[in-house]
Amino acid sequence: MRLGTVKQFDSDSSYGFIDDDQNHKSYFVFYTAIKEEGYKRLKVGQRVSYQLAQGKNGLQCVNVYLADSKERD
């Protein structure tokens, strides 16, 4: 799993971007990739773990989990 920080997430549009810790690139994330219970959203600055997979327009985040259980509010 990779680690990163949520750069942007628009709950109305249900997508955003995650900054990767390893290569400092930003990757697209869609709400369906979030594997947490309840309402699927991310907050700017949250730490997440995820995998990368090929999407229609390049690499994107899949299997996204909050990296720290304290951030599950």
The residue whose two tokens read 């299997």 is 63
How high is the pLDDT of residue 68?
Answer: 73
User: Residues 34-49: pLDDT tens digits?
Assistant: 998 777 889 999 999 9
Mean pLDDT score, 44-63: 96
Tokens of 8: 């942007």
Of the pLDDT bands very low, low, confident and very high (cuts 50, 70, 90), residue 72 is very low
Indicate the CATH number of 2-71 among 3.40.50.620, 3.30.360.10, 2.40.128.20, 2.40.50.140: 2.40.50.140
Mean pLDDT of the chain: 90
How high is the pLDDT of residue 40?
Answer: 81
Supply the DSSP string of 19-61, one letter for each residue.
EETTT--EEEEEGGGB-SSSS----TT-EEEEEEEEETTEEEE
